[in-house]
Structure 1
């Protein structure tokens, strides 16, 4: 039985479509109070941080703990380890692979909930290690035919595009010169950067578009413009407490009265209330441990099935 999953073994064991369904179920359980999930511990600075996340699932008694070192100018930026424990034993996994997979899966859940069912055009802002899983997740829930990528470093964008063209040969994939060019006719936008300032202006977006923002994870970091957060028909976050403290866009909006806390919905609740898919919609995620738990549970099932 595999009890220590490498990054490649995580990928082989958990397809994106399975991760999306597992994360969807975990968010529903989170909303129902079935997880004990302490606040994330964050040490260091925005450029060089150590994160510790944990979650315990009351109905099963299974738990996960993840430690991650995030150095933004390092490649890879995230080096992490995950430990899963349940009544049958324990396993470990390369948590960088788990993190990109579960973050993509959350985007898939939110996009499936909020994006136009006929969405075909995806804009990707950022070409780091999280980027490919964002594309995989959106493509798992919508029939994406066109992808436009923008990254401040053009060479990195070109490398990502070359890899994605091999993986998605049926998809038209281009590189944009600016973020505004990338999002101009998009149906879905995924922001996966470490930006401190908004990547585009509200006027750059179509009137109907769904925007996912998963890159910024500190109060000083923002990928989205204030007026998008203020005027979006729906703003959904992974967990309100975490977003209030860690998501720069949400922290700023609440601090300056741009949006009321009561007008921000958690993803687990939104899966039940089913918000209207109208105008511009936003999903902001900083990541919660229940997502790691969901993917780790699939790894545990895989390990025991293969033994």
Structure 2
């Protein structure tokens, strides 16, 4: 038995964003099809330590991820992803920071491809931290961008992110601003990737036609979106049990009576709808929201890609 270890550089070289998006898409289809055993993740010290696992029945494969989260350090996420399957003696151990960023970007790509208007090309990204680059890459992979506006309280960090992405976005208008409310007024797609505990903008600031992704808040104490936006939008979530346990936005909106559980559609359900559903591209209203706290099927999907590439 051998353990193959892959670091961030190897992961980035081996997996394209397009591959990650398709792998995560298939994972969510299998999730709604009952292919996974996937317990709600264990969160210790209010989310500073996380443990996630998923077992895929038909392939007899499993993924286990442990990580620590500390927004005061760089990188904020550190840990390991372990892949194992009964048909192979060898196992894979991968850098959790790189896997998490890729899979979080990938699920936003899946949701944006499903929910955003086909012609959408103006993205406002709020938050220029570790998850930000892959948010942009994923949206660009499914909705080629014409304009990117980056909002961050730290202007230097916003400019650094634009500098990192500039070579990947030829012909795209690139801007950095400090006012989130002003920045979303002309957006067609908004991505929120912050550790905020209060909403980043009022619902009234958004245009009538917009798709919003929110991936930053992953604990009940965190919140990026206002109740009014959730009340006035088609809301798709990664997995219902997960958001009911961990999403500050969803919990706050439920308690305020702004939304009901029945109004929340799981991503896998939306992807597999055979007729127009509340979350289908043909049926959604002027505003759509995708709320993700991150679930283990995403990590499983990326780990399987890596296992196929690195294990004998």
Please state which band the TM-score falls in when normalised by the shorter chain.
over 0.9
Counterpart of 2:69 in structure 1 is: 70
Look up the SS of the partner of 2:63 in the other structure. Answer: strand
1:1-16 pair list within 5 angstroms: 3-16=4-17
Query: Cα distance, 1:2 vs. partner?
Result: 8.4
Contact 2:214 2:225 (C-alpha < 8 Å) held by counterparts: yes
Please give the TM-score of this superposition, normalised by the length of structure 1.
Answer: 0.96
Query: Cα distance, 1:153 vs. partner?
Result: 1.0
Contact 1:183 1:205 (C-alpha < 8 Å) held by counterparts: yes
Counterpart of 1:229 in structure 2 is: 230
Look up the SS of the partner of 2:254 in the other structure. Answer: helix
CA distance in structure 1 between the aligned counterparts of 2:263 and 2:203, rounded to whole angstroms: 19
Look up the SS of the partner of 1:3 in the other structure. Answer: strand
Counterpart of 1:215 in structure 2 is: 216
Query: Cα distance, 1:119 vs. partner?
Result: 0.3
Counterpart of 2:244 in structure 1 is: 244
Q: Answer yes or no: is 1:289 the counterpart of 2:290.
A: no
1:126-145 pair list within 5 angstroms: 126-145=127-146
CA distance in structure 1 between the aligned counterparts of 2:95 and 2:28, rounded to whole angstroms: 22
Look up the SS of the partner of 1:54 in the other structure. Answer: strand
Query: Cα distance, 1:74 vs. partner?
Result: 1.1
Structure 1: 5+ residue stretches without partners:
none
Contact 2:113 2:142 (C-alpha < 8 Å) held by counterparts: yes
RMSD after superposition:
1.2
String of CA shifts for 1:44-101, please: whole Å, max 9, x gaps: 135xx10000000000000000001001111111001000001213100001100000
Q: Answer yes or no: is 1:32 the counterpart of 2:39.
A: no
Counterpart of 2:84 in structure 1 is: 85
String of CA shifts for 1:16-45, please: whole Å, max 9, x gaps: 000000000000000111000011000013
Contact 2:3 2:91 (C-alpha < 8 Å) held by counterparts: no
CA distance in structure 1 between the aligned counterparts of 2:264 and 2:92, rounded to whole angstroms: 36
Query: Cα distance, 1:167 vs. partner?
Result: 2.2
CA distance in structure 1 between the aligned counterparts of 2:178 and 2:196, rounded to whole angstroms: 17
How many pairs are equivalent?
A: 302
Query: Cα distance, 1:163 vs. partner?
Result: 1.0
Contact 1:2 1:303 (C-alpha < 8 Å) held by counterparts: no
Q: Answer yes or no: is 1:299 the counterpart of 2:274.
A: no
Look up the SS of the partner of 1:296 in the other structure. Answer: helix
Q: Which runs of 4+ in 1 moved over 4 A?
A: none
Contact 2:3 2:93 (C-alpha < 8 Å) held by counterparts: no
CA distance in structure 2 between the aligned counterparts of 1:137 and 1:162, rounded to whole angstroms: 17
Q: Answer yes or no: is 1:191 the counterpart of 2:192.
A: yes
Counterpart of 2:98 in structure 1 is: 97
CA distance in structure 2 between the aligned counterparts of 1:264 and 1:13, rounded to whole angstroms: 35
